[in-house]
Amino acid sequence: MLIADEPTTGLDVSIAAQILDLLRGLGRRTGASIVLITHDLGLVAEACDRVAVMHAGQLVEIADVRTLFKRPLHPYTQALVRSIPRIDREVAMEPIPGAVPSLLAPAPGCRYADRCARVLPVCRLERPMLRAAGVNHEVACHAVEVDSGAAVR
C-alpha cells in the first residue's frame, strides 16, 4: 500500500500531473493500492476509484468516485461537491456556516451537527454509524434515508 498525503498541494499543474503519473506507475509496477489523502476534489475525480470523505476525523461517506460526485448523500459531502467551481454557472460559492468542532473535546454526536442544515436532535446525542446506502455506497448521517435492503460490496 502506498500512502500519499497531499502529494500535489502547492505544485503547478504540469508537476502535479507528473506526480500523479509517478504514483500510478508505482501502483501498476508493484500491484500496490494507493491511498490519496487530499483536499483537491479535481485530483480525487481524476485519480480515485473509491472515495472516503472525512469531516473532523470521522468518516461521513464512502462511495465509488462517480457515485460520490453524482449523488452525494451526506450534507458535508454535498457542500463539498457544491463548492466545485463550474464555468457553466454564475453562482457564488457558499461557505459552510459555523466552525470546525474542537477535536480536543469533541461532542458526543455528529461532528457536523453544528454546521448542518438538516440537523436532528439525535445528531447531537449519538454519533451516526456508516450504513449501506446503495451498492458500494455508505453514509453516516441520521438525516439521510437509506434503503434497508441496500448492499455494500
The 10s digit of each residue's pLDDT in 137-146 is 999 999 998 7
The whole-chain average pLDDT of the chain stands at 90
**Residues 152, 135: contact at Cβ < 8 Å?**
yes
Those residues with Cβ within 8 angstroms of residue 87's Cβ, 6 or more apart along the chain or in another chain: none
Domain ranges (residues) in the chain: 1-48, 63-152
Q: Give backbone dihedrals phi and psi of 89, rounded to 5 degrees, phi first.
A: -145, 150
The residues, ordered by sequence, that sit 6+ positions from 130 with a Cβ below 8 Å of its Cβ are 59, 62, 138, 139, 140
Tell me the pTM.
0.87
